[in-house]
Structure 1
Amino acid sequence: MALGRWLVGAAVLTVVGSVGLIAYLWRYRKEPGADWFVASISMQLLWNLLYAISLFVADPAVRRPLESVMVGVATGTSLLFVSFAMTYTGRARFDERLAAIGIVATVFGGIGLLTMNPMGIAVASFRVVPIGGVAGVRIVFEPLMIALGTGIILAAVVGSLVLFDTVVSYGPLYRGEALAVGLSSLPPAAGYAVWLFGVGPVPELNLMPALFLAHVALDGYAFVYNDMFEFNPATRRAGERAAIDDLGSPVVIVDEDSRIVTLNRRAERVLEVTKREALTTSIESHVDASIDLTADRCRLAVDGEDGTRRRYSVTSTPLSDTRGRTVGYTLVWQDVTDAVRRERRLDVLNRVLRHNLRNDMTIVAGFAESAAADTADDGTVTTMLDTVVDTADRLVSLGETAREIETVLDGDPTPEPVDVGEMMAWIGERARETDPEATVCVTCPDVTCPLDGETFEAVCMEIIENAVVHGGPRPTVEIEVTAGEGGVTVRVDDDGPGVPDRELVPIRQGEETALEHGSGLGLWLVRWGMDRLGGDLDFETGEDGTTVILDVPC
């Protein structure tokens, strides 16, 4: 029978393939799981080398300890493979030094158990059998050793299952590599099981060397051909853990029935509950409120750790399985307590100041006009009172612009079909009413765009009326609208003195400072309105006037 010599050849080929694989992977030894895998391949190499030697050892006194060492090496190979699978996929949260100590203890413990065989608890019988030109061995194991050997096989299976889970969880990114390495451990595990239970056609010979060749070939495909350590799922899993566990905001994951599946430490503190207590309970039972999981965002109020009422904006994101079915939701909580307080304070201040400003300035303007009429003969006093009236009118206008900004920009945009030509014609007529001597020309194609009509109208009205008010003695304003594939462009030209740079700098920067600030709110209405529309705003100022360009997507 030539099977024995074929097994020697297979063992030698496995040794050569393992050496080549180790040499190639040495550059990746700092990658997650690489050191464990190199160690596993090294043990695989050692086992095949020892088995090739053992086939020529017929002395039972030498062969028995050699077989004991081989069982220990096989145990180490399996346990190291599991450690690789756990670390490579980012699941390892154990002390690697402690794991290494455990593997070494298990390997040497197994070797000692088989070698000494105290009270015959490991091996029932052991004899060397010449077969096919080599020295085979017939071992009958006791139940304890069979149980330990089965554990070794199951460890290899567990490692494969962990890698298969990567295939399912992460899709095509790691599919080929993880599948190949996961399958690679199964042939040797099957060969070990056949040898352990003595059920093979030739129980005196261990078929693992031939099956290790498949192991080396699949590993070579994964690591050499597909660069398995170039794209490591441990990075992705670590990122997922960081996104949940290390995020400063509370994160709660629930199933479709609002039951808590997991939550991070910050959420435990906010809900004043441990993860063990929270699991499988309804999220609504911890917040005393109903949560619509299908809504993008909602607000909740929760009693804080210091006894104060905290308000949170909760964003809900659906979780889908590989078939695209919704299986749960991720709830990310953002503490908006301070923002809500500021919002309420600003709302009160804005409403009171705007109301009082309008009413009081109207009174001031009225009395100033009456006083100017009574003192018409005194030119100096009349001039002073006219200045008071103009200032009061500007302040009233400022308050009205603030109210318009609040009205227009409040709430979410509501896109709707807008006849741009009709709107421009109507705005042009309104602008002429502010100055009967003004010339307003509108050139616009027949175009309808889906956009937030209220915001678009407010922006264009502000720009065009401003062009008329600040134009020349007989202002001329030209409005030209062009339509493109991505939207419309509105170009407004006037013949005024131009917008001062001190007004444009903060608008372009998007904020005012103590040194750079405007004198009104009109241009801010235009800037904020264009931001709301998702468009671009540009100014071209020269000696012959100002050109405002609005690029509006639709």
Structure 2
Amino acid sequence: MQMPYVIATVAVLLLTALVAAGLVVVARRHREISGSNWFAAVMVSVFLWSIIYALQVSSTDPTQVLRWHTLKYVPVIALPYAWFAFTMAYSGHTRFLSRRWLVGLALVPTISLVLVLTNDVHHVFWTARTPTGEFGAPGDVNGPGFWLHAVYSYTLILVGTLSIGWSFIRARTLYRGQTAILIVATFLPWVANALHLLDWLPLSSLDPTPVALAATGVLFLVAIHYYRFLDLVPVAWELARDVAIEDMADGAIVLDVRNRIIDLNSTATTIFGFSRADATGRPLEDVSAVCVELVETDTSTSELETFVDHKWRYYELQRSPLSTTGGRHVGHLITLHDITERKTREQRLEVQNRLLRHNLRNDLNVVLGYLELLDETLDDSTQREYLRRAHSKSTSLLNRGEKSRRLGTLLDRQIRPSEMDAVPVIERTVAICHDRFPDTTITTDLPETVSVLCDDGLDFVVLELVENAVEHTDGSCHIEITSTVGDDGVELRIADDGPGIPPHEQAVLDRGRETPLEHSTGIGLWLVRWLVVRYGGSIHIEDNEPRGSIVVLSLKRADTPETTSTVSPGVGVAGSRSDECRDANE
């Protein structure tokens, strides 16, 4: 045996052992990750194989060579078993890691190990052994026990590699890098070992498997450094895919045990505004603090309010733990269910309850108080004044009840926006208001046509905004209605020179909800907001200089009039022309 080959071989084997030992340390630092313990077992086997083989190659005593060669088969037999278990954990096939499966799969390796250690008695594993050979390798003649071990080991390796290959096919970009390296790293040593067994290598006495394992160790280091191997593994992703999260209408986020995002479906990417590639591997706190609070507390549900597709939407969050069949916790699944419609109904009930509990009750108290004063006084002029005030409050009470009725009528029906010309709607509303409010000046600056997507509730929207401006102005009032058409939609502006809409009412409408301490004084602006939002538009309020407010309605433009139908306004809808004319007559 040539000394340079011995030195080179021993050096490579020791380097392989060093790399394997380092990978064992890395694996133990990530022991909470599924499969890390089995990966550590694989690297321990590589370490022992390399060390014992180095001792075998460097030995000059034939008896010691045989002893080291026999002992080397302890890690050689254990390595395929540990590799198979690791690949099953990595790819999420954890049913093969149950105690029954592990005991059953260990049967052949155990028999092989017993045959190796007792071969001098029965010669089943090796039928003959030559004390020494080239490069410290005994001249063994392999027996049936050896081929049983070889076939079984290569079967485990093949099944494990196919499992990783299936993960490669199904995995996202980040995991494909991991699995591709694992596949290459798997084939290197076992191809080298197969060539050695078939005696197809120039130096047939030298087993190149540990040398190939050195290259495998380097590939593992690359996977750890660049692809976060042992840090992000797709087992949680695989488990969640079993419930087809990609096809869920709800949003779904899969987390590992460190609350990092393993995967999320397309609905979740829309909700949070992150692409799947950008979100994968990031801490959950970078995406949503609400989700972090849900995971870190004992609660299993929560709510999220966020701005999606130019609209405020509400989601109910549910957290479910992800565990393997053996009960090992591997992460969480967070689902996000859209409850915007439910929240809208709750907001409607809040306003209606406030209307009944607060506004109507207070107005009734005022009416009763004035009636009591009327009953006590004897002055006719005073009585008439009290009566006028009582009548005014009663009328206000009836109007609010009517608006509450309109709330149910307009919002309970199913709205199907279609193309409408807003100009005739505005002109009809202006005509009604001229009759009802003769002291109010209303001017318009409109194009010939303004095609928007809405329905016949637009009559009510415009009339309510004009009424709101008039009712809150003492004396004469000037209202200007203008419209501009842009690329993104139609903007309708209704400006008045009255006292303006109080800031707290603007805040309530912007926030979209009321509280017992902060609420609006009426229901009209709520109706306007709900209708415009249902048309796919938005509403905001600006200050008018030097006095008053500007209500700005942003509506969708009708770009395809030939494919939509025109709805005639004023037919059987609260707030339509026929209703308002009847109200004016009454």
Partner of 1:190: 191
Partner of 1:123: 126
Partner of 1:520: 522
The one-letter amino acid paired with 1:215 is: T
Partner of 1:294: none
> Residue by residue, what CA displacement relative to the aligned partner does 1:327-366 show, whole Å, maximum 9, x if unpaired?
xxxxx99999xx8xx99xx8xx99xx9xxx9xxx9xx9xx
Residues 400 and 523 in structure 2, CA contact (< 8 A), matched pair in contact too = yes
Residues 108 and 149 in structure 2, CA contact (< 8 A), matched pair in contact too = no
Superposed, 1:266-415 pairs within 5 Å as 378-411=380-413, 413-415=415-417
Which segment is superposed worse, 38-47 or 104-113? 104-113
Change (3 A) 1:56 1:178: same
Q: Distance in 2 between matches of 1:536 and 1:14?
A: 74
Shift of 1:424: 3.3
Secondary structure, aligned partner of 1:65: helix
1:168 pairs with 2:169: yes
The one-letter amino acid paired with 2:435 is: E
Secondary structure, aligned partner of 1:166: helix
1:208 pairs with 2:209: yes
Partner of 2:497: 495
Partner of 2:150: 149
Partner of 1:181: 182
1:540 pairs with 2:563: no
The one-letter amino acid paired with 2:491 is: T
> Residue by residue, what CA displacement relative to the aligned partner does 1:56-105 show, whole Å, maximum 9, x if unpaired?
54655433332222222122322333333334445547889999999999
Partner of 1:13: 12
Q: Distance in 2 between matches of 1:197 and 1:465?
A: 95
Residue ranges of structure 1 left out of the alignment (5+ in a row): 252-312, 314-331
Residues 121 and 144 in structure 1, CA contact (< 8 A), matched pair in contact too = yes
Secondary structure, aligned partner of 2:129: strand
Residues 28 and 34 in structure 1, CA contact (< 8 A), matched pair in contact too = yes
Superposed, 1:244-263 pairs within 5 Å as none
Shift of 1:552: 4.1
Partner of 2:509: 507
Percent identity between matched residues is 25
Superposed, 1:70-149 pairs within 5 Å as 70-92=72-94, 110-117=112-119, 118-128=121-131, 130-131=133-134, 134-149=135-150
Q: Distance in 2 between matches of 1:235 and 1:395?
A: 59
Residues 493 and 552 in structure 2, CA contact (< 8 A), matched pair in contact too = yes
Structure possessing the higher relative contact order (Cα contacts under 8 Å, 6 or more residues apart): 2
> Residue by residue, what CA displacement relative to the aligned partner does 1:346-388 show, whole Å, maximum 9, x if unpaired?
8xx99xx9xxx9xxx9xx9xxx9xxx9xxxx944444444444
Partner of 2:29: 30
Change (3 A) 1:13 1:59: closer
Q: Distance in 2 between matches of 1:206 and 1:525?
A: 83
> Residue by residue, what CA displacement relative to the aligned partner does 1:374-425 show, whole Å, maximum 9, x if unpaired?
xxx9444444444444334323322332232233323555343343444433
**TM-score of the superposed pair, with normalisation by structure 2:** 0.61
Shift of 1:525: 0.8
Q: Distance in 1 between matches of 2:7 and 2:556?
A: 74
Partner of 1:49: 51
Change (3 A) 1:518 1:440: same
Q: Distance in 1 between matches of 2:437 and 2:153?
A: 93
Q: Distance in 2 between matches of 1:22 and 1:414?
A: 68
Q: Distance in 2 between matches of 1:41 and 1:449?
A: 71
Change (3 A) 1:17 1:451: farther
Secondary structure, aligned partner of 1:124: strand
Shift of 1:186: 1.7
Shift of 1:502: 6.3
The one-letter amino acid paired with 2:541 is: D
1:444 pairs with 2:440: no
Change (3 A) 1:145 1:130: closer
Secondary structure, aligned partner of 2:136: strand
Superposed, 1:412-427 pairs within 5 Å as 413-427=415-429
Question: What is the count of residue pairs matched by the alignment?
Answer: 441
Residues 88 and 96 in structure 2, CA contact (< 8 A), matched pair in contact too = no
Shift of 1:445: 4.1
Change (3 A) 1:231 1:466: same
Change (3 A) 1:105 1:152: same
Secondary structure, aligned partner of 1:232: coil
> Residue by residue, what CA displacement relative to the aligned partner does 1:118-163 show, whole Å, maximum 9, x if unpaired?
53443322224533xx233333333344223322222222332222
Residues 542 and 551 in structure 2, CA contact (< 8 A), matched pair in contact too = yes
**TM-score of the superposed pair, with normalisation by structure 1:** 0.64
The one-letter amino acid paired with 2:550 is: T
Partner of 1:66: 68
Secondary structure, aligned partner of 2:481: strand
Change (3 A) 1:391 1:413: same
Q: Distance in 2 between matches of 1:209 and 1:115?
A: 22
Q: Distance in 1 between matches of 2:72 and 2:215?
A: 20
Residue ranges of structure 2 left out of the alignment (5+ in a row): 253-315, 317-334, 558-586
Residues 17 and 51 in structure 2, CA contact (< 8 A), matched pair in contact too = no
Residues 409 and 455 in structure 1, CA contact (< 8 A), matched pair in contact too = no
Residues 18 and 216 in structure 1, CA contact (< 8 A), matched pair in contact too = no
Partner of 2:563: none
Shift of 1:478: 1.0
Q: Distance in 1 between matches of 2:159 and 2:201?
A: 24
Residues 443 and 481 in structure 2, CA contact (< 8 A), matched pair in contact too = yes
Change (3 A) 1:90 1:496: same
Change (3 A) 1:100 1:199: same
Shift of 1:477: 0.2
Residues 404 and 523 in structure 2, CA contact (< 8 A), matched pair in contact too = yes
Shift of 1:203: 5.8
Change (3 A) 1:10 1:123: same
Change (3 A) 1:228 1:553: farther
Superposed, 1:413-492 pairs within 5 Å as 413-445=415-447, 448=450, 450-454=452-456, 456-492=458-494
